[in-house]
Amino acid sequence: MAARCAPRCILPSGLLHRLARSADDALREAALNSLVLDSRFRLARAESSARLLRLPRPVTFARIGGQPQRTIYDQQGSESQTPGVVMRVEGQAPSEDQAANQAYDGLGATYSFYWTVFERDSIDDAGMPLLGMTHYGRHYPNAFWDGAGHMFFGDGDGQILTQTAAGIDVIGHELTHGVIQHEANLTYSGQSGALNESVSDVFGIQVKQYALGQNVHSSDWLIGADIAGPALRPALRSMKQPGTANPYDDQPADMTGYLPSGDVHTNSGIPNHAFYVVATTLGGYAWDAAGPIWYAALTDPQLRPNATFRDFARITVRHAHQIYGAASDQAHAVRQGWEAVKVAL
């Protein structure tokens, strides 16, 4: 069984701390309120982890796969971990609640991407139900995967973030944290933590590109563009140009700007940009070659929880060689991507 982990929020605490020092009273209050709620949630998760571990798992025996099992709940502003009112279940017609429908569609888009491209049956590859908790907290400007089978969506505060269920890439990102948890279980600190965030962005952007039919050149390569409020526009992160997504973006684009004590969301810009270079060098769709190489690396038994950028880079190169050949365009592009961000192979 995969180890339980702390919630993985789309909006990092480091950024919230910077926003909490803003001269804008409303922005500062929203950031502080989010930090308090995030802290409460982490404490509650720790206190209830034993109880959650004893909950029975849904039966997936003889499951064929190819169809998600979605349930969307309305938390009605509550900060409780307990699922609220059921708004929509698999196969039901759209609800009158827009956030419930957005969450339902985003969970479905993520499942469809993983199943169609990789034949992966949900987060755990065994048909795990996808549970979305909408309207979490009061004007909560964040969204997260809690490590225990639930994705929570805040309605946003209107300044930092808007309705978080509207971000297909955000949903893809957060559910990919679950995939990582079941595969490599990358430690959430240092370079392994930055890889955890980067791999989530890599597949989150592919979920969005797949859902919209975008190729590597028509995509904006922005994470969270659909949910960024006025304070963070145009987006939360840019894989094309790390450090330029919003006025508070501190991501480095290569190892010359690596921050040894930096937030995992900050240093994730480095492997993010490596993937962007690989995908755009190869052209076409990101899931044609670049995505499968990254997925092969993520599911490789040799990828350890404490992996460094160099460890991950070498595994991607090895899989590019194995799948396409050492002299192939794909292998050359992977090496070029890591060279571009100054990660030594």
The H or E element spanning position 140 is none
**Contact 193/184 with Cβ under 8 angstroms?**
no
Taking alpha carbons only, the member of 200, 205, 188, 201 closest to residue 307 is 188
Pseudo-torsion of CA 278, 282, 285, 291, nearest 10°? -40
Is the distance from CB of 174 to CB of 145 less than 8 angstroms?
A: yes
Residue 339 is a catalytic residue: no
Residues facing 161 on adjacent strands = 228
Please name which of 197, 307, 318 lies closest in space to residue 262, comparing C-alpha atoms.
197
In 3D, which of 159, 113, 154, 151 has the Cα closest to residue 130? 151
Q: Tokens for 291, please give them.
A: 């995505």
Rounded distance between C-alpha atoms, residue 226 and residue 208, angstroms: 11
Rounded CA-CA distance 236/209 in Å is 17
CB-CB contact of 176 with 111 (8 Å): no
Instruction: Single out the catalytic residue among 135, 150, 265, 273.
Output: 265
Of 141, 340, 175, 144, which Cα lies nearest the Cα of 241? Answer: 340
Residue 305: CB atoms within 10 Å: 12
Coil vs helix vs strand at 269? helix
3-state class (DSSP) for residue 14: helix
Annotated catalytic residue: which of 173, 174, 183, 319? 174
Q: Is 265 an active-site residue?
A: yes
Report the distance separating Cα 289 and Cα 298, nearest Å.
Answer: 14
What residues act catalytically?
Answer: 174, 265
